[in-house]
């Protein structure tokens, strides 16, 4: 099959998936073609940036209010994107199979990919957005699978010697303008009750997630007395569905799986052999301000789809979730706990928007020295801050930081701090 026939087949696959979703009651308007009014309306609050690669070069369209500015990206060819993504994906697949032996190779690939993203795409886009501090990206095709927020360039004034996109902009991803408008409306709802699903035991013998319990405690501390935690056999599909029906936010610390050929079957893995598929979530009529998907492959849509893609995060926006923080790769355990503790502190205690809270927590995890992190958490414990639970997980975090060099930054690699992407409002 030649390349053009592959693209035509992928387009037919996408059309079939979208049409299947539209057959569900209440989703007749799923992924409609946005009108000019939709686009300009969505771009009123923050710049909306459409990113696309083509055979002879790419383009970014920066829409803000009634203004549309093109940014030419001559080196962003479709071939270059395909080649970069394939290397990125192959290296990550090898790392997942051998986390110790392939870690250095994965970290190097991730850094090379993020540097290329700055040079050929996000550097010019950031220059065009120099008067903004937030932006919403609509990334077409394989670009939507790459960590655009982590793109970097050298900067001798930065603590780590690099400046990343997240240093200039709070970045959110959306599949289209209409989903952003809907997400913003949902984001205005009050947030009181949290559901946490913690590392359900699987019949297929998957290894437990080391950071799951610490994530659960960090999330629950942000909703004192208003959290339902499902763990062990209780974290099954029936209980999860029932709890989601009355929740305002949800945190999934569990395994996930992206189905590249049938995206509606991408799923969260629950207790036993239970799963919660994207098609199931669409039927639930959710009303969530935020879903945190700390699970492998939850960000990743099907790579065969050339334009708009259907993934767990983009599907959740359509299913009634205002914002989704999703793992873009297999997350390491040690940095995930302090990242999420700081994220929930900023979002729930300081009242910062969810997208900005995630960005600020990522920058802090990267830039603060290990001595500063240790002092910050120790002071919070001594003061009895409610957002930091006094338990064995926190004590383990403090002990780990005590063994680091005070002036060092043990979480300054992209692999450690940049693994979450933010979808929606």
Angle value at C-alpha 199, between 193 and 201, nearest 5 degrees: 130
- What would the DSSP string read from start to end of 232-274? GGG-SHHHHHHHHTT-SEEEEES-EE--SS-GGG-EEE-SBT-
Residue that wins the pLDDT comparison between 350 and 21: 350
Q: Percent of the chain, pLDDT > 70? A: 84
Task: List the alpha helices (DSSP H) in 328-424.
Answer: 333-344, 354-367, 370-383, 392-402, 414-417
Tell me the C-alpha distance between 360 and 350, whole Å: 12
Q: Indicate the pTM of the whole model.
A: 0.89
Strand partners, 421: 326
User: How many other CB atoms are found less than 10 A from the CB of residue 154?
Assistant: 10
pLDDT computed for residue 2 by the predictor: 44
**Measured CA distances, 14 to 261, 302, 308, 405 (Å):** 9, 9, 8, 50
Residue 297 has pLDDT above 60, yes or no: no
- Surface-to-core class of residue 160, CB atoms within 10 Å of its CB (0-12 exposed, 13-18 middle, 19+ buried): middle
Lowest-pLDDT choice from 37-51, 94-108, 303-317: 303-317
**Lowest-pLDDT range, 26-40, 47-61, 82-96, 186-200?**
26-40
CA atoms within 13 A on the CB side of 328: 22
Read off the pLDDT of each residue in 7-22 and give the average, rounded to a whole number.
56
Residue 8, pLDDT above cutoff 60: no
Q: Which two tokens stand for residue 406?
A: 């005070």
Average pLDDT, the chain: 86
Query: How many angstroms separate the most distant Cα atoms in the chain?
Result: 65
- The phi and psi torsions of 351 (rounded to 5 degrees) equal 75, 20
| 2 or 17: which leads in pLDDT | 17
Q: Which two tokens mark 117?
A: 């993203």
pLDDT, greater one: 201 or 231: 231
Angstrom CA distances, 246 to 199, 200, 222, stand at 21, 21, 17
- Maximum mean pLDDT: which of 65-74, 194-203, 345-354, 387-396: 345-354
pLDDT tens sequence across 240-285: 999 999 999 999 988 877 776 677 788 888 998 999 888 888 888 7
Supply the pLDDT for residue 307: 44
pLDDT at 39 over 90: no
Contact (CB, 8 A) for 70 and 61 = yes
What's the pLDDT at 304? 44
Predicted local confidence at residue 18, as pLDDT: 60
> Does residue 209 have a pLDDT over 80?
no
Cα gap 33→37, rounded to integer Å: 11
Around 165, how many Cα atoms within 13 Å sit in the side-chain half-sphere?
29
Residue 61 carries which DSSP code?
E
Q: Which residue in 212, 149, 193 sits closest to 340, CA to CA? A: 212
Instruction: Give yes or no for residue 303 having a pLDDT over 50.
Output: no
Indicate whether 174 pLDDT > 60: yes
pLDDT at 356: 98
Share of the chain above pLDDT 90, in %: 55
Please give the pLDDT value at position 319.
81
Stretch 359-385: mean pLDDT: 96
pLDDT > 90? residue 420: yes
Tell me if residue 196 falls in helix, strand or coil. strand
Q: Is the pLDDT of residue 167 over 70?
A: yes
Average pLDDT over residues 205-222: 79
Predicted confidence (pLDDT) at residue 6 exceeds the cutoff of 50: no
Distance CA 194, CA 366 (A): 28
pLDDT higher than threshold 70 for residue 305: no
> What is residue 40's predicted lDDT score, i.e. its pLDDT?
64
- CA–CA distance, 278 with 291 (Å, rounded to integer): 13
Question: Can you tell me the mean pLDDT for 328-342?
Answer: 90
Average pLDDT over residues 116-123: 97
Whether 157 has a pLDDT exceeding 80, the answer reads: yes
**Angle between the N-to-C axes of helices 212-221 and 333-344, in degrees from 0 to 180, rounded to the nearest 10:** 10
Per-residue confidence band for 150, with pLDDT thresholds at 50, 70 and 90: very high
Q: Is 314:327 a contact under the CB 8 Å cutoff?
A: no
pLDDT of the residue at 228: 95
Segment 356-362 shows an average pLDDT of 98
Residue 325: name the closest of 208, 200, 170, 198 by CA: 170
Please report which confidence band the pLDDT of residue 306 belongs to, taking 50, 70 and 90 as the band edges: very low
For the chain, the distance separating the N- and C-terminal CA atoms, rounded to the nearest angstrom, is 40
3-state secondary structure of 151: coil
> What is the per-residue pLDDT for 149?
97
Q: What is the mean pLDDT of residues 97-112?
A: 94
Q: Which of 360-381 are b and which e, b meaning 16 or more Cβ less than 10 Å from the residue's Cβ?
A: bbbebbbbbbbeebbebbeebe
Q: In the chain, what are the domains?
A: 31-182 (3.30.420)
Confidence of residue 32 (pLDDT cuts 50, 70, 90): low
Is 119 in a helix, a strand, or coil?
Answer: helix
Residue 312 is predicted with a pLDDT of: 77
Query: 226: how many CB neighbours lie within 10 A of its CB?
Result: 14
Which among 253, 296, 269, 298 is positioned nearest to 204, based on CA atoms? 269
């Amino acid at each position: 099959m030649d390349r053009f026939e592959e693209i035509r087949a992928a387009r037919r696959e996408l059309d079939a998936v979208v049409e299947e979703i539209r057959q569900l009651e209440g989703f007749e308007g799923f992924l409609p073609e946005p009108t000019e009014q939709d686009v300009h309306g969505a771009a009123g609050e923050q710049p909306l940036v459409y990113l696309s690669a083509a055979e002879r070069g790419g383009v970014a369209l920066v829409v803000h209010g009634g203004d549309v500015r093109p940014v030419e990206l001559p080196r962003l060819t479709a071939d270059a994107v395909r080649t970069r993504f394939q290397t990125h994906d192959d290296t990550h697949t090898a790392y997942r199979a051998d986390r110790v032996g392939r870690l250095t190779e994965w970290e190097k690939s991730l850094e090379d990919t993020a540097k290329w993203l700055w040079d050929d795409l996000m550097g010019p886009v950031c220059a065009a957005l120099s008067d903004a501090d937030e932006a919403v990206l609509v990334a077409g095709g394989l670009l939507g699978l790459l960590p655009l927020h982590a793109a970097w360039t050298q900067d001798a004034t930065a603590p780590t010697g690099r400046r990343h996109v997240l240093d200039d902009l709070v970045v959110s991803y959306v599949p289209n303008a209409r989903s952003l408008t809907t997400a913003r409306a949902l984001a205005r709802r009050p947030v009181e009750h949290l559901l946490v699903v913690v590392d359900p035991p699987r019949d297929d013998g998957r290894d437990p997630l080391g950071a799951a319990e610490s994530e659960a405690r960090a999330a629950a501390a942000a909703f004192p007395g208003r959290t339902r935690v499902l763990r062990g056999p209780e974290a099954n599909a029936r209980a999860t569905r029932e709890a989601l029906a009355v929740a305002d936010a949800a945190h999934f610390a569990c395994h996930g799986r992206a189905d590249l050929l049938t995206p509606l079957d991408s799923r969260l893995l629950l207790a036993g052999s239970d799963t919660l598929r994207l098609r199931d979530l669409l039927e639930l009529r959710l009303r969530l301000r935020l879903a945190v998907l700390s699970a492998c492959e939850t960000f990743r849509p099907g790579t065969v789809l050339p334009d708009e893609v259907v993934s767990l995060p983009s599907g959740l926006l359509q299913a009634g979730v205002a914002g989704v923080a999703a793992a873009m790769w297999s997350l390491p355990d040690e940095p995930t706990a302090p990242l999420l503790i700081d994220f929930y502190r900023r979002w729930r205690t300081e009242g910062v928007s969810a997208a900005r809270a995630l960005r600020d927590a990522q920058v802090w995890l990267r830039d603060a020295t290990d001595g500063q992190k240790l002092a910050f958490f120790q002071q919070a414990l001594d003061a009895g801050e409610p957002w930091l639970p006094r338990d064995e997980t926190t004590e383990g975090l403090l002990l780990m930081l005590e063994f680091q060099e005070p002036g060092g930054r043990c979480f300054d690699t992209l692999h450690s701090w940049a693994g979450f992407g933010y979808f929606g409002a």
